[in-house]
Amino acid sequence: MTAPLLTVENLSVVFRQGPKQVRAVDGVSFTLRPGGRLAIVGESGSGKTSVALALAGLLPRRGVERGGSIRWPSLGNSVCAGRDVGVVFQDPMSSLNPVLTVGEQVAEVAVTHLGLSWDEASLRAGELLERVGLPQPHDMADAYPHQLSGGQRQRVALAMALAAGPKLLIADEPTTALDTLTQAQIVKLLDRLARDTRLALILITHDLVLARGMVETGMVMNSGRVVETEPIDALLSSPRHAYTRVLLEATLDPDAPPARKAKKLPGPPLLRLSGLRKGFGRGVRRVTAVDGVDLTVMKGETLGVVGGSGSGKTTLARLIVRLLEPEAGEIEFTGLDLLAHRGAALRQTRARLQMVFQDPLSALNPLATVRRLLSDPLRIHGHVAPVDREAAVIGLLHRVGLSPDLADRYPHELSGGQRQRVNIARALASRPELLVLDEPVSSLDVSIRAQILKLLDDIQRDLGLSYLFISHDISVIRAVADRVAVMDNGRIVELGTADAIFTRPSHPLTRALIDAAPRLHRKAL
Amino acid sequence: MRAANRFFSGGGIVGTMLVAGVAIAALLAPVVAPGDPLALIGRPLIEPFTDWRFPLGTDRLGRDVLAELLHGARATLIVGGAAMLATLIVGIVIGTLAGFIGGTVDEALMRLADAFQSVPTFILALAFVSIAGPSLTSVVIAVSLGAWTAPARVLRAEILSLRRREFVDAYRVLGMAPLHIAFREVLPNALPPVITLAAVIVANAILVEAALSFLGLGNPNSVTWGAMIAEGRAVFRSAPFLSAIPGVAIVVTVLGVNLLGDAANDAINARQAQV
Amino acid sequence: MSRAWTVARRRLLHSIPVLAIVVLGMFALLEAAPGDAVDAYLAVSGGDAGLVAQLRQEWGLDRSFLARLGAYLAALGRFDLGWSVAFSRPVIAVVFERAPNTLLMMGAAICFSFFAGTLLGVAAGVRPGSVRDRILSALALILYATPSFWLGLMLLVSFAVKLSWFPLGGIENIGMPETGIARVIDIAHHLVLPVLSLGLIYLALYLRLMRSGMVEAWRSDYIRTARAKGLAPNRIAFRHAARNALLPVVTMLGLQAGALLSGSVVVESVFAIPGMGRLAFEAVTQRDVPLLLGVFLVSTIMVIVANFCVDLLYAQLDPRVAVED
């Protein structure tokens, strides 16, 4: 029995701001053997990141009280961040220094901890960049962070973390800011590197499914406390604690059969797009974001649109609601030529065609109360008499499951889930027939995400709405869509019923997206 | 609440006290020192703190330095306030037009701002006052000529960044009229950072006015601290206090205004950090 | 290299409309000024109504607005800034005679305030809230509120009148002119107090900017990463935090070139330095509008050149510049 790498006993972290104090971490204990792999799973505010910062000695110096003990028995208890513990953070853009080359940022770790000269260190930086799979690593060393893609930046961050040959790697949501395909590549890379160098790994994540493939032990946290610590398979197959079960139920299983069976929908399509095209920029820089898209949305159905970042999904959404003017093509809504509408006629049609945006906070005017936000559409479209507006606002709040007490709050006084409910309520206020939902749940915690998806489902059933549901996450699409369109480079590359797409994907991209989704169960081979 | 707390932290309190002190001095000037402050009422060049009738002494013509100082506070605050109003109004109008209309109008207005930022503003002020003739109005205009670009640019940048926020798209999708979105929903969000510039503008105005008066181009109809310094300069070997006292008054006033501005800035940042 | 070229070309293209606006503005001021060049000329040399009409016709002042503008632009094209009545010489000759002194003083003031300001700003911003930070920040606040002409007067009273460490004014010893290295030392000796009075307020500005840049950097993710990498505190402070905090200071350096020229007007007046700033003041007191506008145009061009240099420097410091076009 070797000494454990890390023993954490009764760790607590308290943030103080003036008279207020927040207990972010409360009595956390665990051990990690050398080469062991642990996932700390929790939603925002669970304290998981504070644990990671405490382990790496990165808690702010002032305004923080740390209790309990962190010991490193096999490292002789003198542990140095960067040398013995490497850390990778969530946002690869902001966590790299924008004005230094990536080569220097990797090399300086080797200079600091391995005592190399700058020349030796830049050679080593080149090797490391190659090991993390960057193309032409020696040219890349001279690049600046803004010249790299998100995935490449995260590879650089990984090279920095590994430069001094640490014994433990702490990865704080390392793939959350990346799209599905890149995420899968980074996960694979992390796994391979950790195995090659017998590196211990602590993965901080909100995603139980992601943890599933990467670690042996899972520790679930909620409001600063450990809920349960179990082998990851046991945690997923037979969770003992109620909170873990909530998390697990909220987690979308990419291997489950599609939630909706294709139904035969009568009548002419509610929305028909044909040959829709839109580009940005001129000359060599021109990018055709939407390139000849034909689609229909039937009454009462949910059409899921899935694709990677830059595939043109959001541009498509903005064309449909007339935030952008297409260069070519037609948009027919309830049999009317939408592009011919101007002025008052356009305003009338807009009432029937609404959109819910991706970032629930950014989509709400920070200076407007919930009451004012929800009254605006009522006033603009005038379908509710002024005396009845108050009642209508309360009705809308009720409809999206919010208490009427929230009517006088400002957006920053609401939680993320509440904000997105207000966004949905606002879109519903003008009694639309079609809702364009642009990544409506991608910025939300899993348990909140499940609630919002349920709400959208209820509303659709009650009001007979049609949805055009855009997401980068194939598992979300699987959970909501009747039919699915897969988008790449501005084109629809595959279109079919959810059942057909998920059981018999024909386009390579569709297959790649489905395969890249983290699995809840080990695949039967 | 927290924003208010942030405002009344150390610097904010000192700033409030300094500015309030100057404002009280300006208000009390006619009471404490009635009559014309430029009247020759005493023996020339009395040293400060030697004659109780003239606590701060007299200048080389026998004018009461304290009376001049108090009346100078009034002139200073009037110029600072008027220049701030003029500058903010011009800056807000131009910044709003550039930010909302965009395209050629934006391009033209920003080149105009570039031009005004490329000229040495004090020489521009000199040229303007010497051509228009020294008066309160011309001094205020001269100060604003060099200052309006800052609020205009800040407001424009703020509007451009707000326009990219999804809430503006959400209003458009609702069918809200573009003018309503611009002025009722976006503009109020863009104003706070511009308002924090107010202190910077006042401080700058006070310094520019003092320099103009020092060169003899201030408002000839009132006592100004800059003119007092210039007046004292003639005898600065024998009576340096005549230049020193009004200079200290300028430093104290500008310091107070800057402290207020910093505190307001912190308070607004704290508020936005909450949002 | 191509990046620097892109930046240079963009800035040059930028300056053309700026200069055009400045020239038009100058012409407008010239037109708005009471009396014209002939009145000014005759005020000195005297003459009758016949001479007035003759001169007006000769100088093209009786023609239409557009023709006058055309003539003005044509003259500018020949580097003819008009006739200085006060000096009875071409404006351009007077301005160029005075420019070197101002450039010398400004250059010294910029170097002093930039280097001392950024270093002190780092010293303050390394540990925000420390005693050192509080003292430096308070000093900067006070200096930042001090008018440069008054500071100049007070320095003059203390160090030239009372202590006699420095000369009372002028750019060099006129009574006994020096040569060679002795002359350089003599000029430097004369420039100490003016450079201090002009530079200290900008020192305070750069200190404040650098400090707040550092404070912001400490809160950033890349500093957290640098700490996670276990780098030495000095490397984090200088290579990571200060390197980023320097960017807004350099931007401000360009914006302040005009302000420094403005400051030179009063400082040169206080220290009796025959430079462009003092020339502007002399033009005002002698009601010599063409001379004033000549100073104005030349100093504007100096600001544009300074901004051009600062842009090139900035492009060297911030690799992201050329990307955003």
Which chain C residues contact residue B214 at CB under 8 A?
Answer: 147, 149-150, 266
Q: Which two tokens stand for residue C77?
A: 């094209």
Residues 129-148 of C with CB under 8 A from B: 141-142, 144-147
Q: Which long-range contacts (CB under 8 A, 24 or more apart) does A259-263 make?
A: A259/A478, A259/A479, A259/A480, A259/A498, A260/A302, A260/A480, A260/A481, A260/A482, A260/A498, A261/A499, A262/A482, A262/A483, A262/A497, A262/A498, A262/A499, A262/A500, A263/A301, A263/A482
Instruction: Give residue-wise pLDDT tens across range C22-46.
Output: 888 888 887 777 666 666 666 656 6
Which chain A residues contact residue B188 at CB under 8 A?
Answer: 367
Asked if C204 and C144 touch (Cβ cutoff 8 Å), the reply is yes
Bridge partners of residue A278, in order along the sequence: A290
Nearest CA-CA distance, residue B176 and chain C, Å: 32
DSSP assigned state of A4: P
Bridge partners of residue C28, in order along the sequence: none
Range list of β-strands (E), A386-457: 434-438
C228:A81 CB<8 A: yes
A-C contacts at Cβ under 8 angstroms: 78
Range list of β-strands (E), A193-299: 200-205, 217-222, 225-231, 271-280, 287-297
Task: Compute the distance between CA of residue A445 and CA of residue A42 in angstroms, rounded to an integer.
Answer: 9
Which chain A residues contact residue C224 at CB under 8 A?
Answer: 58, 89, 95
Asked if C319 and C262 touch (Cβ cutoff 8 Å), the reply is no
Task: Compute the distance between CA of residue A485 and CA of residue A496 in angstroms, rounded to an integer.
Answer: 7
A409 — contact with chain B (CB < 8 Å)?
A: no
- Out of B166, B174, B185, the one facing A359 most closely (by C-beta) is B166
Nearest CA-CA distance, residue B31 and chain A, Å: 45
- What's residue A203's pLDDT? 92
- Out of C19, C149, C156, the one facing B211 most closely (by C-beta) is C149
Instruction: Give residue-wise pLDDT tens across range C3-15.
Output: 777 777 887 888 8
Residues 269-328 of A with CB under 8 A from C: none
Q: Which residues contact B47 (CB under 8 A, 6 or more apart)?
A: B57, B239, B241
- What's residue A157's pLDDT? 92
Q: In chain A, whose CA is at the least distance from the CA of C318?
A: A99
Is B108's pLDDT higher than 80? yes
Return the ∠ at Cα A22 (arms to A442 and A48), rounded to 5°.
Answer: 45
Rounded to an integer, the average pLDDT of C156-170 is: 80
Q: Is residue C214 part of a domain?
A: yes
**Region of residue A138 (left: phi > 0; alpha: psi -120 to 50; beta: else):** alpha
- What's residue C325's pLDDT? 42
A99:C221 CB<8 A: no
Is B12's pLDDT higher than 90? no
Please measure the distance between the N-terminal and C-terminal CA atoms of chain A and give it in whole angstroms: 34
B123 — contact with chain C (CB < 8 Å)?
A: yes
Task: Compute the distance between CA of residue B123 and CA of residue B214 in angstroms, rounded to an integer.
Answer: 14
Q: In chain B, whose CA is at the least distance from the CA of A367?
A: B189
- What's residue B29's pLDDT? 75
B233:C153 CB<8 A: yes
Q: Which residues contact C62 (CB under 8 A, 6 or more apart)?
A: C53, C56
| Nearest of B117, B112, B130 to residue C261 by alpha carbon | B117
A430:B174 CB<8 A: yes
Residues 77-116 of C with CB under 8 A from B: none
A95:C229 CB<8 A: no
In residues, how long is chain A? Answer: 525
Strands A271-280 and A328-333: antiparallel
Q: What percentage of residues in chain C have a pLDDT greater than 90?
A: 20
Low-confidence ranges of chain A (pLDDT < 50): 523-525
DSSP assigned state of A43: -
Q: Chains meeting C at 3+ CB pairs closer than 8 A? A: A, B
B-C contacts at Cβ under 8 angstroms: 146
Give chain B's mean pLDDT: 84
B229:C154 CB<8 A: no
Nearest CA-CA distance, residue C13 and chain B, Å: 11
Edge-to-edge order in the sheet of strand A353-356: A353-356, A434-438, A466-471, A302-306, A483-488, A491-497
Which chain C residues contact residue A83 at CB under 8 A?
Answer: 230
Q: Which residues contact B245 (CB under 8 A, 6 or more apart)?
A: B48, B56, B65, B69, B228
Rounded to an integer, the average pLDDT of B142-166 is: 91
B120:C261 CB<8 A: yes
Which chain B residues contact residue A350 at CB under 8 A?
Answer: 173-175
Q: Which residues contact C216 (CB under 8 A, 6 or more apart)?
A: C245
Task: Compute the distance between CA of residue C258 and CA of residue C254 in angstroms, rounded to an integer.
Answer: 8
Quick one: CA torsion of A171, A177, A181, A184, rounded to 10 degrees?
A: 10
Q: Which amino acid is at C178?
A: E
Asked if A481 and A316 touch (Cβ cutoff 8 Å), the reply is no
DSSP assigned state of A407: G
| Nearest of B120, B112, B110, B108 to residue C304 by alpha carbon | B120
Where do the domains of chain A lie, and which CATH numbers do they carry?
269-352+432-516 (3.40.50.300), 364-431 (no CATH)
Interface test with B, best of C262, C269, C298 (most B CBs within 10 A): C262
Instruction: Report the run of H or E that residue A27 belongs to, with start and end.
Output: strand A20-32
Instruction: Report the run of H or E that residue A336 belongs to, with start and end.
Output: strand A336-337
- The DSSP secondary structure of chain B, one letter per residue, reads -HHHHHHTSHHHHHHHHHHHHHHHHHHHHHHHS-S-TT---S-TTPPTTS-TTSTT-B-TT--BHHHHHHHHHHHHHHHHHHHHHHHHHHHHHHHHHHHHH-HHHHHHHHHHHHHHHHS-HHHHHHHHHHHH-SSHHHHHHHHHHHHTHHHHHHHHHHHHHHHTSHHHHHHHHHT--HHHIIIIIIHHHHHHHHHHHHHHHHHHHHHHHHHHHHTT-S-TTS--HHHHHHHHHTTTTT-THHHHHHHHHHHHHHHHHHHHHHHHHHHHHHHHHH-
Task: Compute the distance between CA of residue A145 and CA of residue A293 in angstroms, rounded to an integer.
Answer: 34
- What's residue A368's pLDDT? 92
- The DSSP secondary structure of B241-264, one letter per residue, reads HHHHHHHHHHHHHHHHHHHHHHHH
A154 — contact with chain C (CB < 8 Å)?
A: no
Instruction: Give residue-wise pLDDT tens across range A59-93.
Output: 888 888 888 889 888 777 678 888 889 999 988 88
Nearest CA-CA distance, residue B185 and chain A, Å: 7
Asked if C293 and B127 touch (Cβ cutoff 8 Å), the reply is yes
Interface test with C, best of B130, B236, B238 (most C CBs within 10 A): B130
Return the ∠ at Cα B213 (arms to B209 and B214), rounded to 5°.
Answer: 115
Q: Is residue C125 part of a domain?
A: yes
A376:B274 CB<8 A: no
CATH at residue C272: 1.10.3720.10
B115:C258 CB<8 A: no
Name the pLDDT band for B8 (thresholds 50, 70, 90). low
Give chain C's mean pLDDT: 83
Q: Which two tokens stand for residue B53?
A: 């009738």
Which chain A residues contact residue B170 at CB under 8 A?
Answer: 355, 357, 363-364, 423, 426
Q: Which two tokens stand for residue C315?
A: 């492009």
Residues 157-186 of B with CB under 8 A from A: 165-167, 169-176, 185
Q: Which residues contact A306 (CB under 8 A, 6 or more apart)?
A: A313, A470, A471, A472, A473, A474, A477, A484, A485, A486, A487, A513
- Out of C141, C259, C277, the one facing B255 most closely (by C-beta) is C141
Q: Which of A334-343, B180-189, C36-45, C184-193 has the lowest mean pLDDT?
A: C36-45
A412:B165 CB<8 A: no
Instruction: Report the run of H or E that residue A87 belongs to, with start and end.
Output: strand A85-88
C150:B131 CB<8 A: no
Q: Which two tokens stand for residue A248?
A: 């697990």
Which chain C residues contact residue B226 at CB under 8 A?
Answer: 147
Please provide residue A308's backbone torsions phi and psi, each rounded to the nearest 5 degrees.
-75, 180
Q: Which amino acid is at A34?
A: P
Bridge partners of residue C158, in order along the sequence: none
Asked if A31 and A8 touch (Cβ cutoff 8 Å), the reply is yes
Position with higher pLDDT, C208 vs C36? C208
Residue A382, SS3? Answer: coil
Nearest CA-CA distance, residue B272 and chain A, Å: 10
Instruction: Give residue-wise pLDDT tens across range C258-271.
Output: 888 888 889 998 88
Angle separating helix axes B103-118 and C2-32, nearest 10 degrees: 80
Domain that holds residue C127: 94-289
Task: Compute the distance between CA of residue C114 and CA of residue C110 in angstroms, rounded to an integer.
Answer: 6
Q: Which amino acid is at B83?
A: A
Q: Chains meeting A at 3+ CB pairs closer than 8 A? A: B, C
DSSP assigned state of A47: S
Q: Count other Cβ atoms within 10 Å, centred on residue C219.
A: 9
C97 — contact with chain A (CB < 8 Å)?
A: no
Q: Which residues contact C28 (CB under 8 A, 6 or more apart)?
A: none
Task: Compute the distance between CA of residue A472 and CA of residue A508 in angstroms, rounded to an integer.
Answer: 16
Residues 123-152 of A with CB under 8 A from C: 144, 146-147
Task: Compute the distance between CA of residue C301 and CA of residue C304 in angstroms, rounded to an integer.
Answer: 5
Rounded to an integer, the average pLDDT of C306-313 is: 86
- What's residue A525's pLDDT? 35
| Nearest of A418, A394, A391, A389 to residue A404 by alpha carbon | A394
A111 — contact with chain C (CB < 8 Å)?
A: no
- What's residue A357's pLDDT? 92
- What's residue A524's pLDDT? 38
Residue C304, SS3? Answer: helix
Q: Which two tokens stand for residue C242?
A: 């200060």
B123:C150 CB<8 A: no
Q: Spell out the domain ranges in chain B.
A: 2-33+56-274
Q: Is residue C70 part of a domain?
A: no
- Computed on alpha carbons and rounded to an integer, the radius of gyration of chain C in Å comes to 24
Is B260's pLDDT higher than 50? yes
What CATH number was assigned to the domain covering residues B2-33+56-274? 1.10.3720.10
Asked if A437 and A428 touch (Cβ cutoff 8 Å), the reply is no
Q: How many domains does chain C have?
A: 1
Task: Compute the distance between CA of residue B226 and CA of residue B79 in angstroms, rounded to an integer.
Answer: 12
Q: Is residue C69 part of a domain?
A: no
Q: What percentage of residues in chain B have a pLDDT greater than 70?
A: 91
In residues, how long is chain C? Answer: 325
C323:A80 CB<8 A: no
- What's residue B121's pLDDT? 86
- What's residue A523's pLDDT? 46
Is B13's pLDDT higher than 60? yes
